[in-house]
């Protein structure tokens, strides 16, 4: 694990006005016998773009539901914009995306946007909003007649209707094709660039990697890692060792290998200790060529952290 230098510790403090917009303090949430959140604490500061990462059932959605006032914690405290999420006045400062495709099929695009806008003291202009999300010209269409991607983009657009300071996007791009996903990312970045704060969960690690500045890995209701994208990658310490070799010794003989993947002539080995692995490859006189060692993707880091955690549990 890389030791954070003093410089790294102080840099964010100096460049940001650290106002906490949302805070969970020692929060637990129980559904019957299931403990979805287990004494979790998290601060969301203004201007951040936070990615919540974790396997299904890790507690990400439960955490978001607590922040947006849909659920109350079994124990602990949740604050939103200096008050309780249960207070509608606090929720004027946030925007939320409905999950999946649950928009009322009989209403028109324009009507749903106006319905949501009626809840906020001020809002963005409808035409501009729809344009930013690639929905221009669809105002009069009934939602039931939109394509899956259009519905999804409309659902995400609704989070921004009330000019919020903070948006919660739970799986914002599920079911979108690559192009639609990228244009949505663009809209989210635009909001963030103008000073907005974003909390998003995603199944697509690529998405968190592309968007988030801060990554919070959640597993079994607790925070497993919290840092910048690069830091989380470092915490996992996983390296990808790629080589060309016809006859690789069996897995048990290679130390610290997490997974092996063959791609034509190339073999990818994921390891927590690239140095030892390479040394033992050399010692065993393995006839490899074109050796390459690279830092892993966030996805690989994430799998390692959560796997390590469940082994410990």
Candidate list 18, 19, 100, 131; residue touching another protein; CB under 8 A: 100
For position 20 contacting another protein by CB under 8 A, the verdict is: no
Distance CA 258, CA 240 (A): 10
Nearest to 200 by CA among 101, 19, 61: 61
Candidate list 6, 88, 250, 285; residue touching another protein; CB under 8 A: 88
Q: Which is nearer to another protein, 102 or 252 (CB)?
A: 102
For position 229 contacting another protein by CB under 8 A, the verdict is: no
| Stretch of 105-113, 145-153, 187-195, 233-241 lying at the interface with another protein (CB under 8 A) | 105-113
24, β-bridge pairs: 42, 78
| Stretch of 1-9, 91-99, 232-240, 257-265 lying at the interface with another protein (CB under 8 A) | 91-99
CB-based contact 212:229 (threshold 8 Å): yes
| Stretch of 18-26, 46-54, 117-125, 189-197 lying at the interface with another protein (CB under 8 A) | 117-125
Distance CA 275, CA 11 (A): 31
Residue 13 burial by Cβ neighbours in a 10 Å radius (0-12, 13-18, 19+): exposed
| Stretch of 16-24, 59-67, 123-131, 194-202 lying at the interface with another protein (CB under 8 A) | 59-67
For position 75 contacting another protein by CB under 8 A, the verdict is: no
Candidate list 62, 173, 271, 296; residue touching another protein; CB under 8 A: 62
Shortest gap between Cβ of 68 and another protein (angstroms)? 4
What character string, x for contact with another protein (CB under 8 A) and - otherwise, covers 124-163? ------------------x---------------x---x-
| Stretch of 3-11, 65-73, 235-243, 256-264 lying at the interface with another protein (CB under 8 A) | 65-73
Nearest to 62 by CA among 45, 42, 48: 42
> Would you call 173 helix, strand, or coil by DSSP?
coil
169 Cα distance to chain centroid? 9
Candidate list 10, 115, 255, 292; residue touching another protein; CB under 8 A: 115
Candidate list 37, 44, 109, 116; residue touching another protein; CB under 8 A: 116
The distance in angstroms from the start CA to the end CA of the chain is 21
For position 41 contacting another protein by CB under 8 A, the verdict is: no
Candidate list 96, 146, 199, 243; residue touching another protein; CB under 8 A: 96
The 3-state secondary structure of 184-235, one letter per residue: HHHHHHHHHHCCCEEEEECCCHHHHHHHCCEEEEEECCEEEEEEEHHHHHHH
Q: How many CB atoms lie within 10 A of CB 88?
A: 9
């Amino acid at each position: 694990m890389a030791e954070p230098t003093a410089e790294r510790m102080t840099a964010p403090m100096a460049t940001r006005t650290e106002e906490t917009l949302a805070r969970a303090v020692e929060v637990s949430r129980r559904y019957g016998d299931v403990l979805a959140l287990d004494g979790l604490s998290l601060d969301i500061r203004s201007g951040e773009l936070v990615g919540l990462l974790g396997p299904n059932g890790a507690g990400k959605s439960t955490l978001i539901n607590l922040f947006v006032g849909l659920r109350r914690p079994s124990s602990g405290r949740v604050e939103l914009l200096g008050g309780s999420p249960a207070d509608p006045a606090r929720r004027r400062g946030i925007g939320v995306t409905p999950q999946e495709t649950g928009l009322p099929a009989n209403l028109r695009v324009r009507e749903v946007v106006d319905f949501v806008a009626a809840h906020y003291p001020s809002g963005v202009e409808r035409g501009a909003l729809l344009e930013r999300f690639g929905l221009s010209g669809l105002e009069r269409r009934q939602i039931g007649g939109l394509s899956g991607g259009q519905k999804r983009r409309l659902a995400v657009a609704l989070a921004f209707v009330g000019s919020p300071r903070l948006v919660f996007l739970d799986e914002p791009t599920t079911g979108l094709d690559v192009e639609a996903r990228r244009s949505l990312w663009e809209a989210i970045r635009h909001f963030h660039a103008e000073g907005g704060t974003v909390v998003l969960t995603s199944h697509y690690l690529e998405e968190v990697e592309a968007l988030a500045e801060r990554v919070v890995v959640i597993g079994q209701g607790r925070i497993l890692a919290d840092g910048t994208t690069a830091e989380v990658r470092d915490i996992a310490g996983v390296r990808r060792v790629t080589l060309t070799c016809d006859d690789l010794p069996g897995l048990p003989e290679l130390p610290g290998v997490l997974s092996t993947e063959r791609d034509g002539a190339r073999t990818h080995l994921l390891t927590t200790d690239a140095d030892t692995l390479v040394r033992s490859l050399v010692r065993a006189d393995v006839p490899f060529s074109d050796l390459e060692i690279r830092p892993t993707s966030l996805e690989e880091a994430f799998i390692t952290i959560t796997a390590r955690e469940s082994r410990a549990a």
